[in-house]
Structure 1
């Protein structure tokens, strides 16, 4: 994986590259992130790297341990399940609000993200599957006109994407997810709040089950 970044917006690019590497499992849970090695691979200064680590720690993707340095945060199933429960509460209501308020431009933005996600699924692009799904949800939040719920979801998105990557590694899950998000988009386009709420809930419940299967496989492989 090429971690080299451009000189533009060094800190932001450093955060993005490291976030993507953690999200896709390039750096695994509990893995130490050695400063000297990362500075060389990223082509950044120690100060830039340390600032990026503080951002990732705030997102709970990295743990900063005194006298040991940063490591990738590990998430157990209990934490993951709570995150899915929170997603169900928030995303189902955001979808319902989107069905109430969405404009043609909002629907077009969601459709564009869905089309990009479909292409990523066809190409088997793990990273693009995650980023395009995130784009869909960002368009959904804008359509909902609910800033507070949107802020809460955005505060969880880094950890959501770690689970999203794990869930979508389950064979067939990406295609199922595409079908579920399409159903959500269609309900919003009809301005059917109840159907949008249900579609969002069913999507997260299916993602939770897929992630649970992958957690079980990881535990079994470690035994």
Structure 2
């Protein structure tokens, strides 16, 4: 199966999954990220949870915006990045990577909302709750960049069927098909995915806030907040 390059994007139901907004040339550039956006490829929206890939894809998308004829974007104007949930993951990594991966982009601020900062904590919290389907969706996205997870080998027939659906679908409505389902029921071992030994190094590698923390101009909510998918955190 061919892989699109990071930043190529995808479409959901005939509509864009989100993406870069290009206002008039004398205005700042705002990158609005929701769900898969620029990061999407053959694994659907879920690839956004593979944070390194997703962050670089977002920056590649911003670079591409300046190459499109017509808008006449001013490369000296500030760029703001706004990301929600999975889009917040790619936005968070993009702002961490920007100083060395895309130093020519004048990103001055990001606003991040309802994102999973710690992958294992998110998987453990969501498992069996309303957003239980996001557990398998996250694993599908991570496996696209970490094939050593051998996800299909660990899933039972029901789990493999669900994973195949997630690999080529958008978040709504498919990620909500299995509310409150304990995800260990989809695995032959019966081990909850948060405790699967083969997944732990992938979870650690995708935790946020490990790169360029001193130079990160991100704006994050500091009040305690709650989401049916993301564990409560104080930022």
TM over 0.5: no
Alignment TM-score, normalising by the size of structure 1: 0.29
Q: Would you tell me which structure has more strand in proportion to its own residues? A: 2
Q: Would you tell me which structure has more helix in proportion to its own residues? A: 1
